[in-house]
Chains A and B, each alone.
Chain A
Amino acid sequence: MALPMPTTMPLLAPIYLPGQEPLPPGTSDWEKQEMQTALKYQKYLGMAMESCPLKVTLSGGAGFALGGFFSLMSATFAYEDPLSRASTQLSTRAQTMFVFKEMGRNMWSSGKGFAKVGAIYSGVECCIEGYRAKNDITNAVSAGFLSGAILARSSGLKAAIGGGVAFAAFSGAIDLYLRKEPSE
């Protein structure tokens, strides 16, 4: 009686012992070892891609870029007062350098703010989802509430709760939109 091979029972899971998966007939032992190490590193990479710290850094980086971009765009509305001391005493080149430095400073601080928001929200949501082991809308809403409260913690309790509620509503709305079924 032959061992049941997967093709005779197509809907069952093919279980093989770890060293005996069916590989093409010419694979040497070194190739099998290489395949095993490649699979191991692939598994580690997959674990890293789904991990919370990577999500936090990616969200923080994206927030930083977004904040810098917004600040760059809003720097076009900043004007240099022609009657201020800087414009009379400094040369044109120095004024230009000053404008650019100011723009860089604003971009940096605005980027830091957005990065903080993004990182905190992403970290809290990842932790809540990892704890609950479920994927639904309450992750986004509670993560929004917590991160709104964290970001507004220095303005008192009522402001923190209000900020939390507002951020929760905002992030819940965005998550609802992202979860909507495509209209096809």
Chain B
Amino acid sequence: MSFLFGGGNRSVEGSVDPAKIEMAVAELDMITDVFNRLVNSCHTKCIASTPNNHRYVEGDLLKGESVCIDRCTAKFFEVNKKVGERMSAMGSAAQASGSFGR
């Protein structure tokens, strides 16, 4: 992109839109954040609930651990979806009522 004149003139065919790049970056950050939270909470719940004196028995996931991780991720996404729906409902209600009160 160094051959384009001016920093903001990006309306040439085939060039990328900086606003879209910003959105993609923000979305990737969100996805990575969700993934890391999921990994942390399901690891704490299923694999090493006592991080100070936990001993890893073997390198592979034990059967109980893998079942627990399946259920943990399903619950995580379920709760995530419900919280997102609730918050969007709250947000639209606040918008509709002109943000009276809370």
Give the residue of A4, A13, A133 whose beta carbon is less than 8 angstroms from that of B67.
Answer: A133
- Tell me the residues in window 164-184 of chain A with beta carbons closer than 8 Å to chain B beta carbons: 179, 181
Q: Digit string of B19-35 for contact with A (CB within 8 Å is 1, else 0)?
A: 00110110011011001
Let me know if A181 and B55 touch, CB within 8 A: yes
Let me know if A129 and B36 touch, CB within 8 A: no
Which B positions have Cβ atoms within 8 angstroms of A?
A: 18, 21-22, 24-25, 28-29, 31-32, 35-36, 39, 46, 55, 57, 61-68, 71
Which A positions have Cβ atoms within 8 angstroms of B?
A: 1, 3-4, 12-13, 15, 50, 126, 129-130, 132-135, 139, 179, 181
Shortest C-beta distance, A20 to chain B (Å), equals 11
Q: Which residues of A contact B24 (CB under 8 A)?
A: 3
Interface centre among A4, A12, A133, A181 (most CB of B within 10 A): A133
Question: Can you list 26 contacts pairing A with B, beta carbon distance less than 8 Å?
Answer: A1-B21, A3-B21, A3-B24, A3-B25, A3-B28, A4-B28, A12-B32, A12-B36, A13-B32, A13-B35, A13-B39, A15-B28, A50-B61, A126-B63, A129-B63, A129-B64, A130-B63, A130-B64, A133-B65, A133-B68, A133-B71, A134-B68, A135-B57, A135-B62, A135-B64, A179-B57
Q: Between A and B, how many residue pairs show CB distances below 8 Å?
A: 49
Give the residue of B25, B32, B57, B71 whose beta carbon is less than 8 angstroms from that of A15.
Answer: B32
Docked complex Cα distance between A130 and B61 (Å): 13
Let me know if B32 and A135 touch, CB within 8 A: no
Q: Given A13-B39, A15-B35, A181-B55, A139–B64 Cβ distance below 8 Å?
A: yes
Docked complex Cα distance between A50 and B64 (Å): 10
Q: Given A129-B64, A130-B63, A4–B57 Cβ distance below 8 Å?
A: no
Q: Which residues of A contact B28 (CB under 8 A)?
A: 3-4, 15
Shortest C-beta distance, B83 to chain A (Å), equals 21
Interface centre among B24, B39, B66 (most CB of A within 10 A): B66
Let me know if A135 and B21 touch, CB within 8 A: no
Q: Given A3-B24, A4-B28, A13–B36 Cβ distance below 8 Å?
A: yes
Give the residue of B25, B29, B57, B64 whose beta carbon is less than 8 angstroms from that of A133.
Answer: B64
Q: Which residues of B contact A179 (CB under 8 A)?
A: 57
